[in-house]
Structure 1
Amino acid sequence: MDERIVEGLVDLGLSRYEARAYVSLFQQEPETAEGVATAAEVPKGRIYDVLNALTERSLVRSDDERPKTYTVVGAARAVDRLLETRLDELDEQRVDYERTAERLRRSLSSLETDESDAGFSTSAFHHDEARELLLDRFEAAEESIRIVVDEATARTEGDEELDELLRRRVDEGIEIRLLLVDAAERGSELNGEGFDVRVVDPDRQPEHRFAVIDGAEACIEVVRPVSPDRLLAVVDFRNNQPARELAETFEALWDAATPAEQGA
């Protein structure tokens, strides 16, 4: 018996005994329950339960003779039925998971404490981990996101994911300001989509890319010296002096900046 076929049927929802019985009937049908049990190596005490289960799935048919014999439904129809059933089960599981996730969001949110007086700093190293920290903090914003954007940012791998996240956050009511250093063409793409975009004063360009979240949190991006489109690290400051200073720095740069449509 081809165990690869058995494993495939198991993946589509059959028990191992059901799969072996089904495959054995393909190799020799019609067959009695006893014959199936022998060929499929299914315990005789279990074979009727197995064949009844296959019949209920419309994968096997039986006659009214004594002893009863069994035949299989064609391969294509059988596999399609198994696949349809499996996908329906997965859809139900997905709905259950989504409900569980929503309950967890509400429950975990109720456990969150006010961090207004509790300073906190963390960091993530290497590009993927640093990028994930940055996206996570943008996702957590409740009111506003301020980002210094330079040409390297526009080239950064995964930038499409960033744009998609920011567009969704705008749709959710988050105020987003983009301060362009040397990528005005990027600003023109995003301008008019709910983003407020300005070009920084050339005499006041910051040395590092950074972002400010809700006016009380700031992320500094540290890029690789020879690959400025790859992150070396992201340092996240929350509710402490560095965060407040970076928030003030952004506002000062913003006030001195030029609207993108005028500076392009």
Structure 2
Amino acid sequence: ESEYLSAEKQSCDCMTDLRELGLSSYEEDVYRTLLVCGPATATEISSDSNVPRGRIYDILNGLSDRQLVQTRSHEPKRYAAIDPKTAIDRLLSERFYELEQEWYRLENIADRLRSDLFSQAPLDGSIWRGSIGSSSMIRATRDRVQTIDEDLSIVYGLPYKNAQTDIFLDEVTQIFEGSSGEISIDFIFNVDVLEALSGVLPDLVAMTNADVQIRGINETTLSFEIIDNSKAGLEIPHPRIESERFGFVGISNSELVNELNHQFQQLWYNAKPVL
């Protein structure tokens, strides 16, 4: 009796596993029936699997479309289950793809939430997380530009220096699109970033009425910005991925803002005018 119960439990566990891999209860019943009985007609399968006659063709066609059941050219048509190892591999691939798509969907939702919540103060009062080019950071850049009253000083170094242009371009574009003629913007680009943007930079400058000055520098620095000499932001490169950011630190402490401003002025002095 204990051996029977153990076998019954193992069968139930396997059924549960097959359904977790994407089979419905009817699909599992049909597939298992074909494994036990061998090639059979739809009528025979319906009888042996207890799947209603009105559903059997839909179930068989669905399994055939997923390449879990093969048809034989006999009359009447007979169906056969494919090798279980192959079937499980195919189900696993399907399930992986479904979960991957669900991950992307949830990631997009998370990005939208970051965008909605970014303007609120972070829990630790200073640090936001966000990857380069993500919708949350694009929205955050746009929001910061809209807070400028007089001037913005900004340095593009690490991690933009190692990132692909098409990934960070939208963030840079927000600076130009969101600025107006009433403010001035001083850009310092690391030469690698400058080269990556060389094809689009004139068009970016043309889209804004702000007073824009651009300089390039060979020195590799962290990226940072200063808004109206009263608040600042500092990019934190990712500790393991050189082309990615770990986060963005908002700074309101006047001493730190002044120190960053001093660093910017030194870089500006050593940089070469571009436009």
TM range (shorter): 0.3 to 0.5
TM-score, structure 1 as length reference = 0.45
